[in-house]
Amino acid sequence: MGHGGNVIQELTADHREVDALFAQMETHAGADPKRRELADHLTMELVRHSVAEEEHLYPAVRRYVDGGDDLADKEIADHSEVERLLKELEDRQPGDAEFDTLIAQLKSSVAAHVRDEEDRLFHLLADACPPETLDELGEKVRKAKETAPTRPHPAAPDTPPLNKLLAPGTGMVDRLRDALTGRGKQD
């Protein structure tokens, strides 16, 4: 599944990319440096995805879905847990026992979050939201991912309006750090 289309198609494509990154991680063992590269790529994808959802998906869920506030709050809490794990993972190296533990916890948390969105939240949103709005949200999510941070910032705001105001600046700083360190460069 490629990127594009409405918000549900776009976010589902992200989910499959993350699944593939976890699968790639499993093909490398122990202290293989490729695992650090994959962990960085995974972090970048998860952070951008989360920021885009928090900026655009969850406000739409609050607006269109009955009980949307509770659903959005639960998903944002899931993101907070994932971001905490990503922050812990940031300074760990492959071969450290903690690295493997964090990857396993991260995979479990992300898988549960994805199942909840794909099995419940996306269906509720699709039933409640006009198709044109879903298309517009897809475009907004794609644009948000272009400027979103690439590193975990657990203390950053995760609801509008502050998240929409601060994320692009934080993203710019993260991308500058990535460029200077070579983080996220694929061979």
Q: Does residue 187 have a pLDDT over 60?
A: no
DSSP 93-119: -TTSHHHHHHHHHHHHHHHHHHHHIII
Query: pLDDT tens, 84-102?
Result: 999 999 999 999 989 999 9
CB 47 within 8 A of CB 55: no
pLDDT at position 153 = 82
pLDDT at position 186 = 60
Task: Give the residue, 178 or 94, on which the prediction is more confident.
Answer: 94
Q: What angle do CA 144, 147, 151 make, to 5 degrees?
A: 105
Interval 127-137 mean pLDDT: 97
Predicted confidence band of residue 161 (pLDDT cuts 50, 70, 90): low
CATH topology of domain 7-181: Four Helix Bundle (Hemerythrin (Met), subunit A) (1.20.120)
Burial 82-100 (b: 16+ CB within 10 A, else e): bbebbbbbeebebeeeebb
CB 51 within 8 A of CB 37: no
Q: Does residue 39 have a pLDDT over 60?
A: yes
Domain ranges within the chain, ordered by starting residue: 7-181
| Helices and strands, counts by H and E, the chain | 8, 0
Q: Which two tokens stand for residue 134?
A: 């879903």
d(CA 55, CA 51): 6
Q: Does residue 1 have a pLDDT over 60?
A: no
End-to-end CA distance of the chain: 23
Interval 22-37 mean pLDDT: 95
Query: pLDDT tens, 162-176?
Result: 677 667 777 777 777
CA distances to 75, 125, 126, 152 from 147, rounded to whole Å, are 22, 25, 26, 14
pLDDT at position 70 = 97
Q: Does residue 119 have a pLDDT over 70?
A: yes
Q: Look up the pTM and report it.
A: 0.91
